[in-house]
């Protein structure tokens, strides 16, 4: 009788541990997949940016324009700063 009770408990413990290990493995697999996706996008970005240098300039200009618009909309920029930013963006536009 003791053997059947202890073997039943052992079986339950084994099942619980097996379920927990399965859950842990699923979580780790999801993390690895996420990392793989991130690495793939990073590699893609590196290849694109290095093969098309104009894209880097365009992205920088877009970022500058965004920051200018953001400062104007939020009202955090002062008039002098806006004029300076505006001149920089205009100079970059004429250079491209």
**pLDDT given at position 82:** 61
State pLDDT tens for residues 14-58: 889 999 999 999 999 999 999 999 998 888 888 877 777 787 788
Rounded Cα gap, residues 59 and 68, in angstroms: 14
Rounded Cα gap, residues 86 and 80, in angstroms: 10
State pLDDT tens for residues 4-14: 667 778 888 88
H or E element: which one contains 96?
A: none
DSSP, collapsed to helix, strand or coil, labels residue 77 as coil
> Is residue 64 within 8 Å of 91, Cβ to Cβ?
no
């Amino acid at each position: 009788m003791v053997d059947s009770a202890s073997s039943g408990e052992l079986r339950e413990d084994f099942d619980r541990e097996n379920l927990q290990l399965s859950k842990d493995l699923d979580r780790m697999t999801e993390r690895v997949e996420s990392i793989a996706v991130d690495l793939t996008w990073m590699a893609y970005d590196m290849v694109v940016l290095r093969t098309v240098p104009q894209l880097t300039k365009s992205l920088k200009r877009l970022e500058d324009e965004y920051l200018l618009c953001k400062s104007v909309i939020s009202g955090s920029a002062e008039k002098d700063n806006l004029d300076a930013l505006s001149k920089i963006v205009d100079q970059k536009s004429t250079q491209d």
